[in-house]
């Protein structure tokens, strides 16, 4: 037999009633605005009178006003107990009222009846009377309805349940709670405490954090990553707190958790990314079925404002880096100018408009996998404008000339780029059946320059220095060097609306082991 949860409740008169006691008990959860609860009140009153001292009849009511009304309407002598906090209803996992439990003297459940079925109630109470040697409830059962379904318990109301979960002894929340004064403005308080990126935050109340945690099956105290620079422990709960502040929905959590795992890898090097004076910042690209499921934007305005998922997922990751990792401007974050992408930059790839296979597929994932890829970028999106090209070679040439400006036209082998090809430009490339490899090859071809054109001179001090040229040996000045060290440094995705021949490019940071390597991770839902 299951052991029922002990409790201590008071009646309106201040009398305390505890369960279990030293005798069998009848416990029935009710609320006044439930018609079925009103139907069963005469039954509970009759049971209370008939059982006498042999059985405890306890009736937890879910609202103070309703309890008083029940007592007056039905002229009750059975005590109506104050469970207006709903903690006992929550502990008993009450879904429907009335719910009646019968226990033995040790508190072990012998019967559980949900809603009202006349025959079941009559049988259970008669059997209890026989076991205790008391009288069965004295009432005319025939005047009662044969069946009533009951009503929803207040403890499962979405507006209440999360608070109860947060307050319960088995609550998954462990983070320190911060109490603020009754006269304090909670929004200003979060600004003052340094939690914010400069924009208002959603207060992370326990109820909201519990609701956010419902978006993942992972344990709230699971350690997702150790986050530099302060080596903060990024647990699922702490990440959920930052997701609440960012304005996320619970269903975004799998993307956020996976992104946090990715940026905390040695390859990605989040400490270096956030500390550099160049103003680098993570850029997130999402692939796979989860894009549609959580409502991400991959079409019109995909890189801009207006979509909650895009904006808040990226923001949640930035806030976690700030509040868990400790990367804050003026501290370890030393960006000379800053970067608007430090607020957020996250978008989905329009895979269905990509004739070459998505970014995730290119990186070895299956089409049915949901994947997040994290890049480190210092600027963007800068426009690649070409409304005139009618062939792939021409358009690829435009892409190359535009990308040559990354860092500086003379800075070759310095960085990588993330190119976002718009649908109309996709169509132009496909006129000549260009593949991604063809686009990359054309960009490298167009940007190849002899070293003599890349030497620092009287026009610009940026460029290859004479000492390096001397080490290259004879004929070095005629050696051709493309913009990028490798074609793999040109990352290509598809996004944007069907109208407009305007692609975009994000310029990267230091690539490879000396800087940051982009990371792709499968999203586990």
The secondary structure of 469-515 as a DSSP string is: HHHH-TTGGG-EE-SSS-GGGEEEEE-S-SS--EEEEEEE-SBGGGS
Four-residue CA torsion sign, 288, 291, 293, 299? negative
**Going along 392-439, which residue ranges are E strands?**
417-421
User: What is the CA angle 142-145-146, rounded to 5?
Assistant: 85
| Structure tokens that stand for 134 in this block | 């008391």
Continuous H helices in 168-200: 186-192
Under 8 Å between Cβ of 312 and 252: yes
* N- to C-terminal Cα separation, the chain: 36
Task: Give the pLDDT score at 207.
Answer: 85
Angstrom distance (rounded) from CA 323 to CA 370: 27
Q: How far apart are CA 134 and CA 54, in angstroms?
A: 7
Tokens encoding 179: 């109490």
What is the per-residue pLDDT for 182?
A: 79
Answer yes or no: is pLDDT of 167 > 80.
no
74-120 pLDDT, tens digit each: 999 999 999 999 999 999 999 999 999 999 999 999 999 999 999 99
pLDDT-based confidence at 170, cuts 50/70/90?
low
Please check the confidence at residue 163 and state whether its pLDDT lies above 80.
no
pLDDT bracket for residue 464 (50, 70, 90)? confident
CB atoms < 10 A from the CB of 294, how many? Answer: 23
Under CATH, to which class is 7-155 assigned? alpha beta
What pLDDT score was predicted for residue 466? Answer: 76
Based on C-alpha coordinates, what's the Rg of the chain? Answer: 33
* pLDDT, tens digit (0-9, with 9 covering 90-100), for 250-302: 999 999 999 999 999 999 999 999 999 999 999 999 999 999 999 999 999 99
CB 356, CB 435: distance < 8 Å: yes
**166 — pLDDT class (breaks 50, 70, 90):** confident
pLDDT at 169: 60
Scored b (16 or more CB within 10 A) or e, 116-130 reads bbbeebbebbeebbe
6 touches 20 (CB < 8 A): yes
pLDDT value, residue 181: 82
C-alpha closest to that of 493 among 397, 390, 356: 356
Report yes or no: 243 and 220 within 8 Å, Cβ to Cβ. Answer: no
| 20 upstream amide cis, omega within 30 of 0 | yes
* Residue in 209, 214, 266, 215 with CA at minimum distance from that of residue 238: 209
The sign of the dihedral angle between the CA atoms of 191, 195, 201, 203 is negative
d(Cα 244, Cα 222) in Å, to the nearest integer? 18
Confidence band of 236 (pLDDT split at 50, 70, 90): very high
Three-state DSSP class for residue 244: helix
Mean local confidence (pLDDT), 21-35: 95
User: Which DSSP category does 222 fall into?
Assistant: -
The band of 469, judged by pLDDT with boundaries at 50, 70 and 90, is confident
Is residue 468 scored above 80 in pLDDT?
no
Distance CA 426, CA 358 (A): 13
Question: Is the pLDDT score of 180 beyond 90?
Answer: no
Locate all alpha helices (DSSP H) within 414-481, ordered by sequence.
423-431, 436-447, 466-472
Q: What is the pLDDT of residues 398-420, one digit of tens each?
A: 999 999 999 999 999 999 999 99
pLDDT number for residue 1: 58
Q: What is the pLDDT of residues 133-162, one digit of tens each?
A: 999 998 999 999 999 999 999 999 887 887
pLDDT at 162: 78
Residue 49 has pLDDT above 90, yes or no: yes
Spell out the domain ranges in the chain: 7-155, 256-448+483-522
Place of tokens 């440094």: 489
Calculate the average pLDDT of the chain. 93
**C-alpha to C-alpha distance for 174 and 234, rounded to whole angstroms:** 13
């Amino acid at each position: 037999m299951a052991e029922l949860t002990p409790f201590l409740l008071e009646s309106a008169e201040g009398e305390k009633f505890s369960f279990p006691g030293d005798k069998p008990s009848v416990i029935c959860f009710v609320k006044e605005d439930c018609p079925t609860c009103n139907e069963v009140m005469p039954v509970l009153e009759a049971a209370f009178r008939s059982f006498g001292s042999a059985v405890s009849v306890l009736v937890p009511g879910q609202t103070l006003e309703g309890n008083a009304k029940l007592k007056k309407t039905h002229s009750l002598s059975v005590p109506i107990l104050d469970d207006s906090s709903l903690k006992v209803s929550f502990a008993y996992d009450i879904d429907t009222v009335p719910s009646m439990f019968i226990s033995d003297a040790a508190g072990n459940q012998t019967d559980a009846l949900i809603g009202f079925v006349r025959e079941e109630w009559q049988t259970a109470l008669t059997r209890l009377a026989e076991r205790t040697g008391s009288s069965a409830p004295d009432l005319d059962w025939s005047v009662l309805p044969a069946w009533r379904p009951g009503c929803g318990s207040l403890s499962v109301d979405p507006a209440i349940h999360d608070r109860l979960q947060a307050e319960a002894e088995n609550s998954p929340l462990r983070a320190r709670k911060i109490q603020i004064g009754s006269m304090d403005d909670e929004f200003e308080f979060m600004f003052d405490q340094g939690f914010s990126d400069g924009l208002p935050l959603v207060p992370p109340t326990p109820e909201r954090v519990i609701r956010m945690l419902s978006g993942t099956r992972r344990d709230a105290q699971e350690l997702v990553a150790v986050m530099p620079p302060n080596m903060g422990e990024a647990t699922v709960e702490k990440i959920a707190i930052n997701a609440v502040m960012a304005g996320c929905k619970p269903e975004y959590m799998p993307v956020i958790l996976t992104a946090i795992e990715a940026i905390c890898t040695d390859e990605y090097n989040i400490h270096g990314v956030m500390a550099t004076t160049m103003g680098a910042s993570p850029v997130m690209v999402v692939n796979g079925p989860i894009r549609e499921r959580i409502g991400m934007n991959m079409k019109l305005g995909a890189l801009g404002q207006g979509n909650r998922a895009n904006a808040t997922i990226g923001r949640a990751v930035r806030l976690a880096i700030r509040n868990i990792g400790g990367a804050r401007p003026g501290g370890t974050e030393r960006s000379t100018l800053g970067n608007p992408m430090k607020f957020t930059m996250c978008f989905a790839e329009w895979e269905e408009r990509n004739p070459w296979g998505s970014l995730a597929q290119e990186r070895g994932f299956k089409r049915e996998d949901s994947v997040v890829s994290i890049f480190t970028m210092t600027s963007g999106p800068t426009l690649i404008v070409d409304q005139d090209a009618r062939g792939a070679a021409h358009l690829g040439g435009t892409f190359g000339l535009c990308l040559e400006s990354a860092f500086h036209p003379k800075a070759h082998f310095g960085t990588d780029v993330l190119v976002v090809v718009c649908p109309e430009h996709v169509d132009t490339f496909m006129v000549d059946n260009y593949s991604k490899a063809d686009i990359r090859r054309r960009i490298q071809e167009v940007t190849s320059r002899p070293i003599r054109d890349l030497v620092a001179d009287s026009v610009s001090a940026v460029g290859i220095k004479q000492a390096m040229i001397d080490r290259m040996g004879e004929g070095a000045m005629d050696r051709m060097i493309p913009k990028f060290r490798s074609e793999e440094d040109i990352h290509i995705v598809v996004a944007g609306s069907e109208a407009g021949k305007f692609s975009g490019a994000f310029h990267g940071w230091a690539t490879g082991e000396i800087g940051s390597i982009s990371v792709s991770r499968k999203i586990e839902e």
